[in-house]
Amino acid sequence: MEATSTAQRPTLVYSEEMRTKPYFDLTAEMFRCVRDHDFATLAGICDDDHGIVDINVSGGSEVIRDRAGWERWFTGLFAQLKAMGASTWSEITRYEAVATVDMGYSVVDFDQVFIAEGKRLRFSVLATIIWKRSKVGWQEARYHSSLVKVVEE
């Protein structure tokens, strides 16, 4: 059983200005995939040619160098969150992006809310995402996140 039902998660509403910036919809969809542990959809959005740098459950950096490592990371993370009965979601607080014909990048400030075992934590994160145009459309080519602060609510 999930620690937090879907009804307890906020309905996220973003400004028109934010929603019309390049890659915003893909970024929001990636965050939804992580929230819902939707590995298949996430794997289709993310190519991550040279890996990612993500935040691990201890608050440190998780350096992943290749696709196999990326797959192990997310399947393991989703299993760990499920075993903990944890509920998570991301709230984008600032979003900027630049697009060219075949590549672009976005800078995303967001709060990752984590609820488990009676605790509610808010992780403020800053991420840079490199996007590339591929045969299947725009895909994440590189993701790098940094933990800015953690607040217990």
Domain ranges of the chain: 15-152
Architecture of domain 15-152: Roll (3.10)
Residue 4's pLDDT is 42
Residue 6's pLDDT is 52
Give the tens place of pLDDT for each residue, 56-72: 878 889 999 999 999 99
Residue 48's pLDDT is 85
For residues 42 and 26, what is the distance between their CA atoms, to the nearest angstrom?
10
Write the burial class of residue 84 (CB in 10 Å: 0-12 exposed, 13-18 middle, 19+ buried). Answer: middle
Band of pLDDT at residue 125, cut at 50, 70 and 90:
very high
Band of pLDDT at residue 16, cut at 50, 70 and 90:
very high
Q: Tokens at residue 49, please?
A: 């040619």
CB–CB of 144/52 below 8 Å? yes
pTM (2 d.p.): 0.91
Instruction: Please state, in angstroms and as integers, the Cα–Cα distance from residue 26 to each residue in 8, 19, 31, 32, 139, following that order.
Output: 24, 10, 9, 10, 8
